[in-house]
Amino acid sequence: MDGVGWPTLRATPSRRSDDYTERVPQLRLALNQIDSCVGDISGNTETILRWTRHSAEQGAHLVAFPEMSLTGYPVEDLALRPSFVEASRAALRSLAERLADEGFGELPVIVGYLDRSESAQPRYGQPAGAPQNAAAVLHRGEVVLSFAKHHLPNYGVFDEFRYFVPGDTMPVIRVRGVDVALAICEDLWQDGGRVPAARSAEAGLLISVNASPYERNKDDTRLELVRKRAQEAGCTTAYLAMIGGQDELVFDGDSIVVDRDGEVIARAPQFAEGCVVLDLDLPAASADAPTARDGVADGQRVDDGLRIDRLVLSEEPLPAYEPELSGGYAERLDDDEEVYSALVVGLRAYVAKNGFKSVLIGLSGGIDSALVAAIACDAVGAQNVYGVSMPSKYSSEHSKGDAAELARRTGLNFRTVPIEPMFDAYMSSLGLTGLAEENLQSRLRGTLLMAISNQEGHIVLAPGNKSELAVGYSTLYGDSVGAYGPIKDVYKTSIFRLAEWRNRSAAERGQTPPIPESSITKPPSAELRPGQVDTDSLPDYPVLDAILDLYVDQDQGADAIVAAGYDRGLVTKTLRMVDTAEYKRRQYPPGTKISAKGFGKDRRLPITNGWRESV
């Protein structure tokens, strides 16, 4: 969705008479919720130009773009490469000139980018070159103000202490008679810093530009955060978010604007690029507020040691105008639709941003590959999805039939390549038995998929789910092969729920449900030996997933899990399977992160590890 069709929003925050002079300033704010690609500075520049044009066409007086929108986010070790930092800085200056050349010089534009500190002295433990996660205000062809993120997150997927040095200013720009304070992402998530400093600066509006990754239920947490910070700052607060995907991260948009009392004024769609334009009535800048660039009381530092850096762009309020735009509030997605949308956006971004056109999936007839196929069809189109059924002598007729039925329902490209001749050739040479025989079938399928990938140019999608990866039920160089794992962070119980939601959603729209019902209802099985089902060696998935959630996601120890009501022997067995499978997870492809603790950067454990939870 390009966002042009979004309703443009009008809002009037609650007024208090002591905040206003006789003439109440008006401001039309444009928040551009865009998708940037890491490293594609020229492409991101064109996106920023395009959405600035759109904002200007809507009559905006102030335009904003997300955190590091010029470089993409997160740039990781690119931040430590001087050539990349300088390319970002040069592109910012060029962008300012191009905006002026196109007639937008009088329109202030806030852009996130990668900068470096001019004052930080090299020292041990500081990132080389003192890079900064920064944002700038572009006006009249120049970079008139820049500032760096003050609070640097260093948890979960974030390593910003590794990459950046913090900023120490509280930037405030005066636009059309309104003082606007500026912040970057974590500056809102952490107490102190720029939020109370915005109150000290007597700002009428606080804008935070963000690239905060998606997690389940984070939208509710985010809303409460913005409400709280608006009340602390004492002014209308706009939280502008990024959308799209970058490697394992997904950005869900959901930009929010609330008034000083925490009441929601506007909320943007989730997982969609676009521009939210709001008409705001805001407090006039205080007549005695300092306007010098050296800040309050000759550089006085306020909350958290921040120095107020104030710049006047336009002192006089706009002539009064009658807002012509209707209000709006984007409909929220329910929990399952939200997760499914994140999986679709994550896969689509990975495929497109890495220059691929099509994907390849091994279709077993089971629930995991069926859900991956449905996600892929929604992400890149069924015409670009290639499915291969690779039956062995242990594959049931109903599984082979379910794979073919899935292809019929979705319209994806489908073929069948039996692996039995290859399997027999290996067995005659090696005489494998037991687990080695079972894993051989999986590895033959992995080899076959990679051969087709090399021949035809599709990227292979790995169908493993979080439950399997946790306990090591993923054959190395077999079902773990691929470039991307769309359901890598989804527990098995959620796989079933998402499949049911996708079918139900299709039926409600009068479409054919993509996933055969028997793929959902039959007992899960790898079908690597006669009569095999997953519960031969694993507990029922609701029990397994509950234990895994406590151990993996919540970092609970064995005693705490047993105290939660789970059998001691089962807990011991499960935790040992998790601990001994770390080497497998390290070799699994990247995949969309939807939880607070996915396998990867969120959870970093040593492979060689003698520690075991005692129960």
Query: How does pLDDT run across 177-197, given as a tens digit for each residue?
Result: 999 999 999 999 988 889 999
Quote the CA–CA distance of 184 and 211 in Å, as a whole number.
9
Distance of CA 30 to the CA centre of its chain: 22
User: Is residue 1 very low, low, confident or very high in pLDDT (cuts 50, 70, 90)?
Assistant: very low
Rounded mean pLDDT of 509-527?
85
Going by C-beta distance under 8 Å and a sequence separation of 6 or more, which residues neighbour residue 146? 115, 134, 135, 136, 137
For residue 294, the model assigns a pLDDT of 39
For CA atoms 212, 216, 220, 225, give the dihedral sign: negative
For residue 296, the model assigns a pLDDT of 43
For residue 19, the model assigns a pLDDT of 41
For residue 305, the model assigns a pLDDT of 75
- The CA distances from residue 583 to 137, 246, 474, 601, in Å, are 47, 24, 11, 15
Query: How does pLDDT run across 474-509, given as a tens digit for each residue?
Result: 888 998 999 999 999 999 999 999 999 999 999 999
For residue 6, the model assigns a pLDDT of 54
Rounded mean pLDDT of 202-208?
94
User: Is residue 317 very low, low, confident or very high in pLDDT (cuts 50, 70, 90)?
Assistant: confident
If we measure between CA atoms, which residue out of 102, 288, 98, 134 comes closest to residue 209?
134
Going from the N-terminus, what domains does the chain have, and what CATH number goes with each? 9-312 (3.60.110.10), 335-535 (3.40.50.620)
Query: How does pLDDT run across 420-464, given as a tens digit for each residue?
Result: 999 999 998 988 888 898 889 899 999 999 999 999 999 999 999
High-pLDDT (> 70) share of the chain, %: 90
User: Is residue 293 very low, low, confident or very high in pLDDT (cuts 50, 70, 90)?
Assistant: very low
Q: Which of left, alpha, beta for 177 (phi over 0: left; psi -120 to 50: alpha)? A: left
Say whether pLDDT at 327 is over 60: no
Query: How does pLDDT run across 220-269, given as a tens digit for each residue?
Result: 899 999 999 999 999 999 999 999 999 999 999 999 999 999 999 999 99
Q: What phi, psi does 62 have (nearest 5°)?
A: -150, 135
For residue 525, the model assigns a pLDDT of 64
For residue 326, the model assigns a pLDDT of 40
For residue 287, the model assigns a pLDDT of 75
Rounded mean pLDDT of 143-153?
94
133 has which bridge partners?
114
User: Is residue 531 very low, low, confident or very high in pLDDT (cuts 50, 70, 90)?
Assistant: low
Say whether pLDDT at 11 is over 70: no
Burial class (CB in 10 A: 0-12, 13-18, 19+), 523: exposed
Rounded mean pLDDT of 275-295?
74
Model-level pTM? 0.90
High-pLDDT (> 90) share of the chain, %: 69
User: Is residue 136 very low, low, confident or very high in pLDDT (cuts 50, 70, 90)?
Assistant: very high
Residues identified as active-site: 67, 149, 185
